[in-house]
Chain A
Amino acid sequence: MSLLRLEDITVAFGGLLAVSNFDLTVEERELVGLIGPNGAGKTTVFNTITGFHIPAKGRVIFSNIDITGRPTYQIAKLGISRTFQNIRLFPNLTVLENVMIAAQMHFSIPYLHTFLRTSLFYKVEKAIEEKALNALELVGLREVKDEIAKNLPYGDQRKLEIARAVATEPRLVLLDEPAAGMNPKETDELMRMIKFLRDELDLTIILIEHDMRVVMNICERVIVLNYGEIIAEGTPEEIKTKPEVLEAYLGSAAVG
């Protein structure tokens, strides 16, 4: 049984077809790369999976549940978590608070306990904090937990977004250009981290990335999008040599 299935998805913005007749099946514990030139519709695919866009046509099936058109927060609760291309942290909150907001997803505490500060409240709050700290440990940001998120260096902000995505205990993580703005050393670290998430936490990961080193090194399957359609699909080695891919990236002259 596949974890995620997109069936014949079409997303239109006015007359523009951002994504058309898109099919995708992702198995449990897969690490899939989604690449393509700017404007190819990669982020639109993510936004459709997470419910920010409602497709004009087609269905999104996640672990046998049809989630098409469901509100974003419900989709998150079912186990799909994401990061954003243009980092979206909670900038004025601390690093720990950022992750706690994600970690509290599966906890619920009635308002009465919150206002009366019962012992149950402190128990739940502590459990949330511990879970958040574990997620921070994972990305190596535990030491800066009291820092204000917007004061972190760029690379750390990206890591914080990953920690936040993981803290919701998802089954599927969508990473939107996680390596953007990172130096080569940080990128190496990031690749190790993504592999760890898959191998040790058994997460399924789809990532959008322009850094081909990342895509070629860690993805098992790569899907190439252009003008909202899949133009190629296969292992990184297969993709590298396909003329359609080279054409999309470099223009037809380069292919000859």
Chain B
Amino acid sequence: MEKIRNLRYPLFILGTVIIYLFNLASPYINPYYLQIIIFAGINIILAVSLNVINGLCGQFSLGHAGFMAVGAYFSSFLTFYYRIPFLLALISGGILAGLIGLGVGIPTLRLRGDYLAIATLGMGEIIRVILFNLDIVGGARGFPGIPKYTNFFWVYFVVLLVLISSYNLLKSPQGRAILSIREDEIASEAMGINTTRFKIFAFIFGAFWAGIAGGLWAHYIQFLHPSSFTFMKSVEVLVMIVLGGLGSISGVAISAVLLTFLPELLRYVKVIFNTTVDPRMVIYSLLLILTMLLRPQGLLGGYRRKAREQ
């Protein structure tokens, strides 16, 4: 551990350089594969950030698609109309999403469990309906012509940042405070932890990265429509974190990659068996059910616990 600590900055630079080198190779990759790889990266950002809210802090949020939409639309608005540099637009989208997280968090975070889930779901729907009626970003017609700025480098650089920041948060006084809220909110208060403050922080942290992910996504597919940010999108991310193991950063990241690749790989089932119907989504759903039956704690959930017990 001591060695890693001393090398933390060089390792970060090394990671960035490796991502940059891969980026140089990206034009030679089959564009279909590259697109899946990029979507996998964006899903990692979404899942790891939702994991901070749901997995670490234990607050059941279903509003992730809403935060993603805010970041996507706001950053695209900035680059499309004002030609703002991409990085600045991305960060602005993240910050606006974070601010909305703050605004939503203050009144709703006193709710617990299912009640909070419904409130955040409502928040996501409100954002979507507002976008649907906002003419400046295309409203129901959609928002075309967004410049294509997102590439392999930006996506995976952000993946690196979200992984490092979540891990650094987890292993810190603030992270323990957040975990203690999940474990027992009453005991947490009694230990001098301002639980409201940390819940709101977790919410803002998650919303910020979701906003960034939205910005990356928008500048890759170059077209936005409110129907991309329905509550199903939030559920998709929720499935990733539950399958990966709530609270496990590595598990959640791996499951985000798996669940991005799996539906694509299952396309070959139809080809192999030469059927007229496509059983892709049936198999996908069955695999989810099986995983939950066989590993209810998720792929890597409880991993750390087991390792320590032995």
Contacts and interface: CB of A to CB of B under 8 A. Distances in A.
A97 B308 CA distance: 14
Contacts of B174: 109, 111, 114
A76 B191 contact: yes
Contacts of A72: 189-190
B184 A88 contact: yes
Interface residues of B, number: 28
Contact of A148 (B179, B189, B191, B308): B308
A249 interface: no
B49 interface: no
B27 to A, nearest CB: 33
Contact of A89 (B165, B184, B194): B184
A52 interface: yes
B151 interface: no
Interface string B104-129: 00000000000000000000000000
A101 B188 contact: yes
Contact of A101 (B5, B168, B180): B180
B172 A121 contact: yes
Contacts of B169: 114-115
B97 to A, nearest CB: 18
A77 B184 CA distance: 18
A154 interface: no
Contacts of B173: 100, 104, 107, 109, 114, 124-125, 128
A114 B24 CA distance: 33
B172 A88 contact: no
A224 to B, nearest CB: 26
Interface in A61-80: 71-73, 76-77
A93 interface: yes
Interface string B142-184: 0000000000000000000000010011001111110110011
B168 A92 contact: no
Contact of A92 (B8, B183, B186): B183
B3 interface: no
Contacts of B180: 90, 93, 101
Given A88-B184, A91-B183, A73 B308 contact: no
A82 B309 CA distance: 29
Q: Which among B174, B187, B192 has the highest number of chain A CB atoms within 10 Å?
A: B192
B198 to A, nearest CB: 10
A111 B200 CA distance: 14
B186 A52 contact: yes
A50 interface: yes
B308 A90 contact: no
Contact of A88 (B175, B187, B309): B187
A168 interface: yes
A102 interface: yes
B193 interface: yes
A82 B187 CA distance: 9
Interface of A: 50, 52, 71-73, 76-77, 81-82, 84, 88-94, 97, 100-102, 104-105, 107, 109, 111, 114-115, 117, 121-122, 124-125, 128, 146-148, 151, 164, 168
Given A76-B192, A125-B172, 9 more contacts: A81-B190, A88-B186, A89-B187, A90-B179, A101-B188, A102-B192, A111-B174, A114-B169, A114-B174
Return the 10 tightest CB-CB contacts between A and B, nearest first: A90-B183, A76-B192, A88-B187, A105-B192, A72-B189, A114-B172, A104-B173, A102-B191, A77-B192, A101-B180
